[in-house]
Amino acid sequence: MYTTLAGGQFNDMKENTRILMIMLDGVGVPPEGWRDSLYSKYCSDQFIDLFSNYSMPIDACLGYDGLPQSASGQTALFTGYNGADIMGDHLPGFPGPLLRDAIRDRNIFSSLESANYTVAFANAYVRYSMAELRKTRFRSVTTIMTEGVFGAVRRKGDLIEHYAVYHDITRESLQGGKVGFGRHKFKMKPPIPEVITPKRGAQDLLNIAKNYDFTLFEYFMTDKAGHSQDQEFVKNVLADIDEFFCTLMDEMCDDTLLVVSSDHGNIEDPTSGKHTRNPVPLLVYGKNRPDIIPVVSLTDVHSFIVDTMLYFNNPDKEQASDPNDHIESSDFDSHNPFADFNF
């Protein structure tokens, strides 16, 4: 048994492992449990089994009152820095100068690239190039990560050739040639990428991931649907991610570890249209899933992923002794505030 710096325990068999990470914006763990929740109303048994059996609830509140928000939560998730601590509170929307500095200092892309792993951001940007994005304030946490490590983003041509995945998976929001939201919509020049099924979107993502050690895809329609309180919209979004994740489960390679998390809750509570203080899931699925994953908060996910990659893909790494080698499942449960959460 080997224990990483973050405390994750792995079986002695060591094989190269790719990590495919998906960030589902606004997806919280339902207090009533996955099988009795809104998710079970619109998603298949396979999807519910996946999250019931392979995910654990982790804290997204970061030690602050009020409702968790995207900029501070995603900073915590992707960098390991507590974004709320940096700002003194939760921060919505796009990161400002202080958070941007923290993201540039360390993030999951830069940490893995500096250790000589290949990394990719699978999302397509159809409106702005990276050069144009630098001139706007509409830069998400992942955009700032991408700017610092790659200097460019995947564009419409990549999407048409299936070398990228759009943020709604199916590309339906591109139809009619209008892109964006509200007053920020613009008319896209032909050709317009054709609509695809969630299954094809998952297959495209898996094909991209085969070429890299670590691949990230960000999906935020869940948060948008939660805010809308439009149950038809919620139903359609959950149906899309149901088909998407079931395809990933059925078709992903044995060398792939699927990691899924979120920045805050929202869609699991159909009554408010606001973010929630519910924990968010950390789902880890695949042949090389660690036996114990002692992640308690968003701030632990960055080191968990880096440690996992270092263990499985570093031929010089020995099964070294570590201060955490003595950890037992019961030790972790006693420190996890959500150990008895019903899910």
- N- to C-terminal Cα separation, the chain: 28
Residue 257 has phi, psi (to 5 degrees) of -110, 120
Per-residue pLDDT reduced to its tens digit, 312-341: 877 554 443 232 333 343 343 434 444 444
Average pLDDT over residues 133-155: 86
Question: What are the DSSP E strand ranges found in 25-105?
Answer: 55-58
Name every residue whose Cβ is closer than 8 Å to that of residue 328 and which is 6 or more positions away in sequence: none
Per-residue pLDDT reduced to its tens digit, 61-109: 999 999 999 999 999 999 999 999 999 999 898 989 999 999 999 999 9
**How many C-beta atoms surround the C-beta of residue 35 within 10 A?**
15
Q: Domains along the chain?
A: 2-335 (3.40.720.10)
**How many C-beta atoms surround the C-beta of residue 152 within 10 A?**
11
Q: Is the peptide bond before 191 cis (omega within 30 degrees of 0)?
A: yes
Q: What's the pLDDT at 85? A: 95
**Among the listed residues 295, 301, 265, the one whose alpha carbon sits nearest the alpha carbon of residue 280:** 265
Helix, strand, coil distribution of the chain in percent, nearest 5: 40, 15, 45
Kind and range of the H or E element at 258? strand 256-261
pTM above 0.85, yes or no: yes
- Helices and strands in the chain, H and E counts: 14, 10
CA distances from 130 to 69, 136, 145, 167, 174 (A): 25, 10, 12, 17, 20
Per-residue pLDDT reduced to its tens digit, 164-221: 999 999 999 998 765 654 555 567 677 889 999 999 999 999 999 999 999 999 999 9
- Count of residues in the chain: 343
The string over 305-329, giving b where at least 16 C-beta atoms fall within 10 Å of a residue's C-beta and e elsewhere, is bbbbbbbbbeeeeeeeeeebeebee
**Among the listed residues 245, 223, 221, 212, the one whose alpha carbon sits nearest the alpha carbon of residue 108:** 212
Q: What is the DSSP letter of 123?
A: B
